Copies of this chain bind each other. A is one copy, B any other.
């Protein structure tokens, strides 16, 4: 246990990657329709050519390009219309020199044709005869077999986020299922002698549990699952029992509360007992959020978050979401960020990344943010802020009027 060294965020992330580098992440095969925002665990290669027949990319007349060379507005070429290609149907026509057929966009080219003249550059003279006013090059306005996707061509890499457009690409080559990383299942334990789950138990001295609700929903947004939640007293044996049991069921165990170094803080002590490696980070250089624990219990990462709700949410963003993305291959939080103008000076503690809660507003077309202050743990601090800014550890703050990156809460 490495209790007294506070880790920089960068160093903490590096240690997390090292310590969990051998963790085996499970995969599963799922329907592509359900694969949005999952991460591919396989390369996908096409089993078909796209298109699998020669097709026109415009509405027009399929011709032999040599027939219409040298044509112009004043020197059209007359061709015989010998048929029509119907949308969605095989076309068994064959054209010879001096002949053409009508083809709609996406329609199949007849044998013999090597190009299509757009309908705009033609004029029908009779049922059987058409004037062509513009030459075409070989292959012009057509797509040949495999022009778009060839058999065995790679259409999706491994370890990529699957977007809606990727699902469209997979559908276009007839792939119905894809191997992705499983969503990590997380047990969430909210601990503290004063915390209760239900308003009926809200005796004097107690407060209602918040972290289970915020963290479970942040997990959902990161692409993980809060499979089980507990609210327990900060009592060594009971907490140890639940953590030990959770390690056999979950991919990740998160405890909020009891993460400081006081006499009554049991989280780190238990994390150190239950696994081979135990605690390897206790304390990170972030404000609020310093009392953060990262440990390894056999094959399960264990994380201790500060009990104070704002701190827990910030450490979630910085540490838990990082672990989920990089170790468990989830999409992670997609935070909306924009530059906004600070409406007053703000100060921070040098040597720590300081997270300041902010509220955004607009005035005279300008995008402002204003700091929201409140005693640690106040509901109003959470309720009144809509996002946050980060003051880097080497800065002392920002001045009124500066443009700062503002992150909206998820």
Contact = CB atoms under 8 A, between A and B. Distances in A.
Interface of A: 32-33, 36, 48, 50-53, 57, 86-91, 106-108, 143, 148-149, 155-156, 163-174, 192-195, 198-199, 202-218, 220-221, 233, 264, 309, 313, 334, 336, 375-380, 382-383, 385, 409-410
Contacts of A377: 57, 106
B221 A164 contact: yes
Q: Top 5 A-B pairs ranked by shortest CB distance?
A: A174-B199, A88-B194, A88-B193, A168-B214, A164-B217
Contacts of A36: 217, 220-221
6 contacts: A32-B213, A36-B221, A88-B192, A88-B195, A90-B205, A171-B213
A207 B108 CA distance: 11
Contacts of A32: 213
A63 B212 CA distance: 34
A187 to B, nearest CB: 16
Contacts of A195: 88
B148 A379 contact: yes
A410 B334 CA distance: 10
Contacts of A206: 88
A207 B313 contact: no
Contacts of A167: 213-214, 217
A129 B239 CA distance: 35
B218 A202 contact: no
Nearest to A219: B164
B143 A375 contact: yes
Contacts of A143: 375, 378
Contacts of A204: 52-53, 90, 108
Contacts of A383: 149, 155-156, 165-166, 169
A207 B106 contact: yes
Nearest to A200: B174
Number of copies of chain A assembled together = 2
Nearest to A217: B164
Contacts of A409: 163-165
B313 A194 contact: no
Given A88-B192, A379-B169, A174 B217 contact: no
Contacts of A410: 163-164
A148 B313 contact: no
Given A108-B204, A165-B382, A336-B334, A210 B53 contact: no
A53 B309 CA distance: 19
Given A88-B192, A193-B88, A383-B155, A52 B217 contact: no
A383 B172 CA distance: 11
B376 A57 contact: yes
Contact of A165 (B50, B88, B149, B313): B313
A53 B205 CA distance: 7
Nearest to A169: B383
Contact of A164 (B106, B192, B214, B380): B214
B33 A213 contact: yes
B207 A172 contact: yes
Contact of A209 (B86, B148, B171): B171
Nearest to A308: B105
B205 A172 contact: no
B149 A379 contact: yes
A380 B203 contact: no
Contacts of A164: 213-215, 217-218, 221, 313, 409-410
A51 B207 contact: yes
Contacts of A207: 50-51, 106, 172
Contacts of A149: 379-380, 383
A337 to B, nearest CB: 8
Given A171-B212, A173-B379, 18 more contacts: A33-B216, A52-B202, A53-B204, A53-B205, A87-B205, A88-B194, A88-B205, A88-B206, A90-B205, A106-B194, A148-B380, A149-B383, A164-B213, A164-B217, A164-B218, A164-B410, A171-B213, A171-B214
